[in-house]
Amino acid sequence: MGVAHAEQLRATAVELCAQRKAVRIDWSGATQVDAGIAQVLLSLRAGLDEQNISLSIGPGIPPAIWNWLTTAGLSDILGNPEQRQG
């Protein structure tokens, strides 16, 4: 996912926050992310945190994505690291 997907992901993030339900991200089909996507995920995380709504990850986050987010200092946007199942 890259900057070309950021606007669509942002719209989805706004919808998810409005639904006031826990969010679980399925990364199984992802092959890469960029800073634009990370920014949207940070905003989603902040919006959900304001409402005390959880954000978690599904199993199967690709190691390359996990490593990129960790290296960038953004792994906390994925929720509890113990939930990682790669």
Structural domains of the chain, count? 1
Q: Tell me, what's the pLDDT at 17?
A: 85
Which residues constitute the domain of residue 50? 22-83
pLDDT digits (tens, 9 = 90+) for 18-76: 888 888 888 878 888 888 888 888 888 888 889 898 888 777 788 888 888 888 777 77
User: Would you place residue 2 in the very low, low, confident or very high pLDDT band (cuts 50, 70, 90)?
Assistant: low
Does some domain include residue 64?
A: yes
Q: What six digits make up the tokens of 8? A: 């669509």
Q: What is the distance, to the nearest Å, from the Cα of residue 45 to the centroid of all Cα atoms in its chain?
A: 7
Distance CA 72, CA 54 (A): 22
Flag whether 8 is in a domain.
no
Looking at this protein, which amino acid is placed at residue 71? T
13 in any annotated domain: no
For the full predicted model, state whether its pTM sits above 0.85. no
